[in-house]
Amino acid sequence: MKKNKYILTALSLYINYFIHGMGAIILAQNMQFLMKQLNTDKAGVAYVISALGIGRLIVLYVSGVLSDKFGRKPFVFLGMAVYSVFFVGILFSKSVTVAFIFALFAGMANSILDAGTYPALMEAFPEAPGTANVMIKAFISAGQFLLPLIIGFLINNNLYYGYSFIFCIAVFLINAVFLIRLPFASMIKKEEKTDSQDKNLVNNFKTSPNFWIEGIALIIMGYTATATFYLISVWLPTYGTEVAKMSKSVSLTLISYYSMGSLLSVFITSYLVKSLIRPVVFVLVYPFLSLLSLILLWLVPTQTVCILCAFLIGFTAAGGVLQLALTVMAELFPANKGRITGIVYTASSLATFTIPLITGIISKTSISNIILFDVFIAAVGVLLGLIVNVRYKKVINVESKAVNA
């Protein structure tokens, strides 16, 4: 990858996801300011946040199809432009309804960026597409680590909260100036499998996978995996302030600890699944560790525990469970990778839509109950992971070389 002429292009694409990492949590991080600006409560802001999931669902499928037809670069720039509309629009929104509409743009921008970026990276690095795509998660985590620090600085210095939005717009503009001159790899058609590859696929199975058991379990995990960490990214600062009695600026940094865990997990897990441990193991172990962390967070709401659990949940829930579930899904159902990926990501998008709505209602009773709700979601994820692991051992010939996504 060092001599690849698309290195600068990739870096520019990753910078977009650095900003996307900020965009995914910027509403939750500025919840108190938005409550005043929009004349609403926590449930109202949570309702606005739910629009990100809806917007993503609206264009999730069609953006991929159009990217195949019109190319990757136009969709990368379109995604940047649509995201910028969101950042500007929120600052001028005076009601929940208007803010909800602009938040839809953020969700759509996410899908549009995905449609242009993921294929572009796989085409630029055909020998290491998995590594190229995993780096996206690293830059998302980096953005989520930095944003709370920026907002904390603004709060401590009594500066306008909107500067965090303006910063994102400025980075997009500067990045666009550089990216417009950078080359994109030509679109590559998928190669047909050889007879030898088909034989390896057959030898990999002891019996046929059952879509209605392990397949459905993995699809639902697309929801539970996303819901587990998304809920924390939205509500942990509020939990720190109202339940753990932390100061506002310190509670915001909990997301930085969460992002540190996620970022570290990306590199450690990528190394482990590459040569030492099968991805299916993490599909059970990580949700179980997330469950234990959430139980501790709910039972012992202190500043130290909040910091520790923020890091642990970031490591175990946000560090790649969704991507690992997709990897296992592709291994079990290798002939339908595209369709299956779309289904799992649709389940993931449903989580980003429904979780803010559900937790917004729960917030009217107790912020602590929101964490308890996440405990339930993580427990479901553990059960699903157990089902997948049991079925995997019955289906996959573990002594043969696994077919990775």
pLDDT, one tens digit for every residue, the chain (405 residues):
456 789 999 999 999 999 999 999 999 999 999 999 999 999 999 999 999 999 998 888 788 788 888 888 999 999 999 999 999 999 999 999 999 999 999 999 998 998 888 888 878 887 766 567 778 888 998 999 999 999 999 999 999 999 999 999 999 999 999 999 999 988 755 444 445 445 545 557 788 889 899 999 999 999 999 999 999 989 999 999 999 999 988 898 999 999 999 989 888 887 887 778 888 999 999 999 999 999 999 999 999 999 999 999 999 987 778 878 877 887 888 765 556 767 888 888 899 889 999 999 999 999 999 999 999 999 999 999 999 999 999 988 766 544 444
CATH of the domain at 186: 1.20.1250.20
SS3 content of the chain, % helix, strand, coil (to 5): 80, 0, 20
Give the amino acid at 232: I
Q: What are phi and psi of 397, to 5 degrees?
A: -80, 100
| Alpha-carbon 267 to chain mean position | 16
CA nearest neighbour of 380 among 294, 291, 316, 286: 291
Question: Full-prediction pTM beyond 0.75?
Answer: yes
Terminus-to-terminus CA distance in the chain, angstroms? 19
Q: Which residue, of 156, 174, 191, is where some domain finishes? A: 191
| Alpha-carbon 284 to chain mean position | 19
Is residue 205 helix, strand or coil? strand
The verdict on 154 and 208 lying in the same domain is: no
The verdict on 359 and 210 lying in the same domain is: yes
Could you tell me if 160 and 154 are in contact, meaning their C-beta atoms sit under 8 angstroms apart?
yes
The verdict on 168 and 218 lying in the same domain is: no
pLDDT of residue 35: 96
Q: Write out the DSSP string of 35-102.
A: HHHTT--HHHHHHHHHHHHHHHHHHHHHHHHHHHHH-HHHHHHHHHHHHHHHHHHHHH--SHHHHHHH
Cα–Cα distance between 321 and 327 in angstroms, integer? 10
Angle formed at CA 289 by CA 395 and CA 348, multiple of 5 degrees: 65
Q: Which residue, of 191, 217, 237, is where some domain finishes? A: 191
The verdict on 241 and 259 lying in the same domain is: yes
> Which residues contact residue 327 at a Cβ distance below 8 angstroms, ignoring those fewer than 6 apart?
273, 279, 404, 405
Domain count, the chain: 2
The verdict on 46 and 163 lying in the same domain is: yes
Provide the angle, in degrees to the nearest 10, between the axes of the packed helices 42-70 and 72-92: 160
Cα–Cα distance between 294 and 367 in angstroms, integer? 14
The verdict on 54 and 134 lying in the same domain is: yes
The verdict on 200 and 168 lying in the same domain is: no
The verdict on 187 and 208 lying in the same domain is: no
Is residue 400 helix, strand or coil? coil
Structure token pair of residue 364: 């009217």
Angle formed at CA 101 by CA 222 and CA 84, multiple of 5 degrees: 85
Q: Which residue, of 191, 209, 238, is where some domain finishes? A: 191
Residue with tokens 């599909």: 283
The verdict on 290 and 302 lying in the same domain is: yes
Boundaries of domain holding 381: 193-405
The verdict on 389 and 263 lying in the same domain is: yes
The verdict on 152 and 215 lying in the same domain is: no
Could you tell me if 251 and 244 are in contact, meaning their C-beta atoms sit under 8 angstroms apart?
yes
The verdict on 294 and 239 lying in the same domain is: yes
Could you tell me if 70 and 135 are in contact, meaning their C-beta atoms sit under 8 angstroms apart?
no
